[in-house]
Amino acid sequence: MKKITGKILTYDNEFNGILKDGKNIYSIPNVIYNETVEVDVEGKPLRAKVLEKSTNRITPPCEIYYQCGGCKLLHIKYEEQLKMKTELVRKLFADRFGKGNLVNSCLGMEKPCNYRNKNQVVFGNHPKEKLISGFYAENSHKIIPFKTCYVQDEISDKIVGKIKDILIKMHISAYDEDRKRGLIRHVMVKRSFKTKETMVVVVTAEENFPGRSNFVKAVIAQCKEVTTIVQNINTRSTSAVLGNKENILYGKGYIIDELCGKKFKISSKSFYQINPYQTEVLYNSAINNAGLKSTDTILDAYSGVGTIGLIASSKVRKVLSVEIEKSAVIDAQFNAKINNIKNVSFFNDDASNFIVNLANRKERMDAIIMDPPRSGSDERFLKAVLKLVPEKIIYISCNPNTQVNDLKLLMDKYEIKYIQPVDMFPHTAHVENIVILTRK
């Protein structure tokens, strides 16, 4: 045990508080800037006793806040969270490019709760309660049961609760990771807040699902909101939630959502933004500030199910859309059809391969919208962008740290014009960021 006392001086990139003791620097969770804390720096995990509280501290409105680790900022007033996220982006862009002054305030939610359109819950067996459902504790496979989650959709949480009761009544067991026995691994509920369509995905450890049709009957009878039920079979012993094989047990096997006036298909597996309210804010901020012209040909890279390109398509002449996941590309083509959009072409390829080919063919690209995963883009992609020299680049990122590394490679030919953080994930340590660049 080695106790130290001190003031929280600043935050690291995950909003842990920084505490210094001589040359030693510690990252402390659950604290706030300027608080005086006492920490046993040999304890695992590090837990601070707050001696002088910040005026921004609140009681987290969640029973499992300290175990779950999902909403790392739930102990901080929401307005302060937004300031912290703005400051993180401001500091990154000030240090790297001297452009801190261009960073707009992070766009937050009016009601920052119950925003997730996808609830994912793990199931386990329990000697007394028979079945439990919850989240894994941070960095472990211990299940922390909960009834409602502050950021998940309430109706979807209720559906999971009813499913649990149905499974208990039917004597269906959860999968036991250690013994590799039992059936139910996870239940996922995806719901459109606009159309109200609701999909239940039951992840089972094997295809054989005794009592399947009675289970489906009970779910439909007790959960009126459910419009489709899918069985996903995951026989693997990795931490991936979903397996490849699926059976549609009820309904059409997918749901339709609406974003920015367009319809989108959500299936169990393909990527879809989880906060639909803020997705509209994000897409509108990016598209409306990009200065797109009706004569433009644009590229939507890392396009998922085609959302950004399809929404931008009415402003431009032509969109090329590239995405590596085949199932997402198939969904994107479906999405173009149901919205009657004809000026978007979809390509199933690695974004870097695709853009290198475009550059070699010297194709004209007026703007490039890119929205890569957390790890960022790569040098091949960015070098090809420099060959194509589009007038504008719109870089959307869920990880501003990798975003600034990528942008560095573009600075000879491009100038940063607009920086807009958006709070896609209130109460978590994540921040989304839009950067718009123009050719020098």
Choose which of 316, 328, 336, 344 interacts with ligand SAH (CB under 6 A). 328
Q: Does 73 bind ligand SAH (CB under 6 A)?
A: no
Q: Which residue has the tokens 């295809």?
A: 207
192, 275, 307, 420: which one binds ligand SAH (CB under 6 A): 307
Pick one of 56, 227, 303, 420: the residue that binds ligand SAH (CB under 6 A).
Answer: 303
Q: Which of residues 157 and 371 has its CB atom nearest to ligand SAH in the complex?
A: 371
Check binding of 274 to ligand SAH (CB under 6 A).
no
Handedness of CA 352, 357, 362, 366 (dihedral sign): negative
Q: Does 324 bind ligand SAH (CB under 6 A)?
A: yes
Answer for which of 373, 411, 413, 415 binds ligand SAH (CB under 6 A) is 373
| Identity of the residue, 57 or 380, whose beta carbon is nearer to ligand SAH in the bound complex | 380
Q: Which is nearer to ligand SAH, 152 or 303 (CB)?
A: 303
Per CB under 6 A, 371 contacts ligand SAH: yes
Q: Which residues of 89-112 are buried (b: 16+ CB within 10 A; e: fewer)?
A: bbbbbeebbebbebbbebbbbeeb
- Note whether 351 binds ligand SAH by CB under 6 A: yes
- Does 108 interact with ligand SAH (rule: CB under 6 A)? no
Tell me if 399 contacts ligand SAH by CB under 6 A.
no
With binding defined as CB under 6 A, does residue 366 bind ligand SAH?
no
Identified binder of ligand SAH from the candidate list 271, 330, 356, 405, rule CB under 6 A: 271
SS (HEC) of the chain: CCEEEEECCEECCCCCEEEEECCEEEEECCCCCCCEEEEECCCCCCCEEEEECCCCECCCCCCCHHHHCCCCCCCECHHHHHHHHHHHHHHHHHHHHCCHHHECCCECCCCCCCCECEEEEEEEEECCCEEEEEEECCCCCCEEECCCCCCECHHHHHHHHHHHHHHHHCCCCECECCCCECCEEEEEEEECCCCCCEEEEEEECCCCCCCHHHHHHHHHHHCCCCCEEEEEECCCCCCCCCCCEEEEEECCCCEEEEECCEEEEECCCCCCCCCHHHHHHHHHHHHHCCCCCCCCEEEEECCCCCHHHHHHHHHCCEEEEEECCHHHHHHHHHHHHHCCCCCEEEEECCHHHHHHHHHHCCCCCCEEEECCCCCCCCHHHHHHHHHHCCCEEEEEECCHHHHHHHHHCCCCCEEEEEEEEECCCCCCCCCEEEEEEEEC
Identified binder of ligand SAH from the candidate list 325, 334, 383, 417, rule CB under 6 A? 325
Task: Using the minimum distance from each CB to ligand SAH, give the nearer residue, 143 or 369.
Answer: 369
Nearest distance from C-beta of residue 435 to ligand SAH, angstroms: 15
Q: In whole angstroms, how close is the CB of 338 to ligand SAH at the nearest point?
A: 17
Q: Which is nearer to ligand SAH, 31 or 336 (CB)?
A: 336
Q: Does 280 bind ligand SAH (CB under 6 A)?
A: no
Contact criterion met (CB below 8 Å) for 265 and 338: yes
Which is nearer to ligand SAH, 151 or 322 (by Cβ)?
322
Exactly one of 68, 71, 106, 398 is catalytic; which is it? 398
Kindly state the smallest distance separating residue 270's Cβ from ligand SAH, in Å. Answer: 7
Stretch that binds ligand SAH, among 204-212, 302-310, 336-344, 385-393 (CB under 6 A): 302-310
Annotated active-site residue 106? The verdict is no
- Candidate list 30, 227, 267, 273; residue touching ligand SAH; CB under 6 A: 273
Give the nearest distance from C-beta 371 to ligand SAH in angstroms.
4
Among positions 69, 304, 400, 426, the unique one binding ligand SAH when judged by CB under 6 A: 304
Rule CB under 6 A: is residue 323 a binding residue for ligand SAH? yes
Q: Which residue is nearest to ligand SAH (CB)?
A: 304
Interface positions with ligand SAH (CB under 6 A): 271, 273, 302-304, 307-308, 322-325, 328, 350-351, 371-373
Active-site residue list = 398
